[in-house]
Amino acid sequence: MDEDKELVVRDSNGALLKEGDSVTVIKDLKVRGSSGVIKRGTMVKNIRLTEDSDEIEGKVEKSVMVLRTEFLKKA
């Protein structure tokens, strides 16, 4: 990936996401490697962008998780 090209990350509705934004989960998501579920409507605050424009990192229930942007909307 080129260093001078800025990464564009968008949520499920096409809204631009940036570091520190808050997002809401729009669908119940199963957590891999666990029996847990992230419920629809869960707020994820202070997100971090990853190198992949389809994924963000955020703290959910005291654990840092990588979430797909297709299941998120900007809060």
Q: What is the CATH number of the domain that holds 34?
A: 2.30.30.40
Q: What is the pLDDT of residues 7-35, one digit of tens each?
A: 899 999 999 999 999 999 999 999 998 89
* Residues paired with residue 72 on neighbouring β-strands, in sequence order: 25
The rounded distance, in Å, linking the Cα atoms of 67 and 1 is 21
Q: pTM of the prediction?
A: 0.87
Number of domains in the chain: 1
Residue 4 lies in a domain: no
Tokens read off for 57: 């990192």
Residue 48 lies in a domain: yes
Residue 1 lies in a domain: no
Q: What is the pLDDT of residues 29-66, one digit of tens each?
A: 999 988 999 999 999 999 999 999 999 999 998 999 99
* Dihedral sign of CA atoms 29, 49, 61, 46 in order: negative
Instruction: Quickly state the pLDDT bin for 3 (edges 50, 70, 90).
Output: low
Domain that holds residue 56: 9-74
* Residues paired with residue 16 on neighbouring β-strands, in sequence order: 10
Residue 2 lies in a domain: no
Residue 64 lies in a domain: yes
